[in-house]
Amino acid sequence: MDKKDRLKLVHWVVDTARKKGADDASVTFSYERDISVSHRDGELEELSESTSNSLGLAIYANSKYSSHSTNDLRKDNLQKFIEEAVAMTKYLSKDEYRTLPDPKYYDYDENIDLDINDKSYSRIDSDRRVDIAKKIEETTHKKDKRIISCTAGYGDNHFETIRVRSNGFEGVNEGTVFYAGVEVTIQDDDGGRPQDWSYATVRHFKDLPEVEYFAEEAIRRARSKLGQTKIESGRYDMILENRNAGRLIYALYGPLQASSIQQKQSFLEGKKGERVGSEKLTIVDDPLIKQGLGSRLYDSDCIAAKKRVMIDKGILKDYYVDWYYGRKLGMEPTSGSRSNMVFGYGDKSMDDIIRGTGKGILVTGFIGGNSNSTTGDFSYGIIGSYVEDGKIIKPVNEMNISGNLSELMMSLTEMGNDPYEYSSMKSPTMLFKDVYFSGI
């Protein structure tokens, strides 16, 4: 099937659903090609290559709603699939809020080029893929004699998503993703085998970092864990490294969603216009960044994408409101899901921030933990380094941070100038004052 065939099929599904009794239908067809390679300890380890298709169908019939997905695209089976999908919907309760969005929200700007589809994708052959993984692995392995094992990988993905809504939307989104990385385990004298990794994901092949970057970063990180121990419980400044800050910020994402608010599971309910963090906390959702990993012209409701300030200098400005929960809450839809998250950045590097810290813990990784979106309570395991008088003193592990997100966000005192590049969550290094760490 080529793109034309897929589009034809999608329209056929929409028409068939309506013929069978749906008032409205929404159909999404995803096509993906995934190729990945890994190389471990001098040998090609895994080679994987496949194509997947998936057809998603949502039925709106007589104020009732259901959704369905299948990858069995044989026409007879699809016909039956659609009939049963419509028939099944009848058994559900009416829900007047379930409709397709008002088409006025569909009006996205077709002329914007997000530049997320790398045309050079088709020119990358299998040998090249294997070669990248192999070079990263070999380069890393040479860095340290204490390496027990080292696995490097490369992969790419080409996708095309077609969305058609029976009340007047059609859109095709095509793009590419390339990623490479390495993980390395080294022997510690105390019997431990600390592991760390470096990894990069980009939209354009040419933007993958050099082999040396992966090798250097992974080995530096793994070495920094040698001899790690837990230290005394107490209050320390927390310097949160950019690549891990996303995990903590993610705890705010659930409570910012209209679904959580409507279900009374958000500690941020009713806080619009109020202070939810310190002056330093600014979060912007920007779907229109060129080559961004979260970039898009419209979301899964097909609502045209717009840049939105979510939190401005600590004041809550907006929620993530999808069409359905927006109607339930009587709120204007924004988007039910995040795209690229960008922050209000400061002017210091992570090293500058460390230099300015009297007694702190540099957190370089989280392990487990969770947060409660209803109350904002959280507790996470951490790995990192103890910092004293502006210097990294020793590696720490086996400690927890616990508290409430409202309080933690108020203690944010510094944002770095270093947004993490390889994620749609472009968090910088963040400094929080006086966070309670439990250890010994």
Partner 1 sequence: MYQIDRRKFIKTGLSGLALAAVPLVFKLDPSKAFAAPGGNGMLKDYYRHFEVDESTIRKIMSIALDKGGDYCDLYFQHRIGNWIGLEDKTVNQAYTTIDYGVGIRVVKGEQTGYSFTEEITPKAMELAAKTAANIANEAKNIAPVELTYHKTPNYYPIKTIWEDVGIDRKIPYLQKINDRMFDKDNRVIKSQIWFSNSSDYILIATSDGKIVHDYRPMASIYCSCTAEENGKREQNGFTLSARQGMEYFTPENLNYLADEAVRRTVNLFKAVKPEGGEMPVVLEAGRSGILLHEAIGHGMEADFNRKGISIYADKMNKKVAEDFVSIVDDGTNLNERGSINVDDEANDTEKTFLVRDGVLRSYLHDRISANYYKVNPTGNGRRQSFRHMPMPRMRNTYMLPGPHKRDEIIESVKNGLYAEAFSNGEVHIGAGDFTFYVKSGYLIENGKLTKPVKDINIIGNGPEVLTRVEMVADDLKLAESGGTCGKNGQWAPVSLGLPTIKVSSITVGGIS
- What residues numbered 282-311 form the site for partner 1, per CB under 8 A? none
In the list 52, 62, 174, 351, the residue contacting partner 1 (rule: CB under 8 A) is 52
Residue 401 binds to partner 1 (criterion: CB under 8 A):
yes
Stretch that binds partner 1, among 133-141, 147-155, 246-254, 414-422 (CB under 8 A): 147-155
Query: Binding residue for partner 1 (CB under 8 A) from 11, 15, 20, 53?
Result: 53
Q: Are 57 and 85 in contact (CB under 8 A)?
A: yes
CA angle 243, 173, 253 (to 5 degrees): 35
Closest CA to 385 of 411, 359, 409, 406: 359
94 lies in the binding site for partner 1 (CB under 8 A):
yes
247 touches partner 1 (CB under 8 A): no
When asked if residue 157 is in the footprint of partner 1 (CB under 8 A), the reply is no
Angle of helix 3-19 relative to helix 75-89, nearest 10 degrees, comes to 40
Binding test (CB under 8 A) with partner 1, winner from 370, 388, 391, 393 = 370
Q: In what helix (H) or strand (E) does residue 4 lie, and over which residues does it extend?
A: helix 3-19
49 binds partner 1 (CB under 8 A): yes
- Examine residue 149 and tell whether it contacts partner 1 (CB under 8 A): yes
The only residue of 88, 103, 351, 388 in contact with partner 1, by rule CB under 8 A? 88
Among 164, 240, 293, 383, binds partner 1 (CB under 8 A): 383
Contact 214, 354 (CB under 8 A): no
For 390, the token pair is 């502006």
5 binds partner 1 (CB under 8 A): no
Selected binder of partner 1 within 171, 209, 227, 369 (CB under 8 A): 369
Adjacent-strand bridge partners of 359: 388
CA-angle at 131, arms to 128 and 134, nearest 5°: 155
Rule CB under 8 A: choose which of 142, 193, 220, 306 binds partner 1: 193
| Residue 45 sits in the site that holds partner 1 (CB under 8 A) | yes
Could you tell me how many residues of this chain bind partner 1 (CB under 8 A)?
86
- Which region, judged by CB under 8 A, interacts with partner 1, from 87-95, 201-209, 279-287, 314-322? 87-95
417 near partner 1, rule: CB under 8 A: no
Residues 19-38 contacting partner 1, CB under 8 A:
none
**How far apart are CB 127 and partner 1 at their closest, in Å?**
11
**Contacting partner 1 (CB under 8 A), which of 70, 117, 291, 300?**
70
| DSSP 3-state of 345 | coil
Please list every residue from 216 through 235 that binds partner 1, using CB under 8 A: 225, 228, 230, 233-235
Distances (CA, A) of 170 to 104, 109, 427: 14, 13, 33
Reduced 3-state DSSP string for 362-428: EEEEEEEEEECCCCCEEEEEEEEEEEECCEEEEEEEEEEEEEEHHHHHHCEEEEECCCCCCCCECCC
**394 interacts with partner 1 by CB under 8 A:** no
Q: 108 or 386: whose CB is closer to partner 1?
A: 386
Which residue of 93, 111, 273, 330 would you call a contact of partner 1, by CB under 8 A?
A: 93
In this structure, which amino acid lies at residue 32?
E
Q: Which residues, at least 6 apart from 342, have a Cβ–Cβ distance to it below 8 Å?
A: 283, 284, 286, 289, 419, 426
- Contact (Cβ atoms closer than 8 angstroms) between residue 399 and residue 230: yes
d(CA 167, CA 171): 13
185 makes contact with partner 1 (CB under 8 A) = yes
Q: What is the contact mask toward partner 1 in residues 324 to 353, using x (rule: CB under 8 A)?
A: ----x-------------------------
* 320/366 with CB nearer partner 1: 366
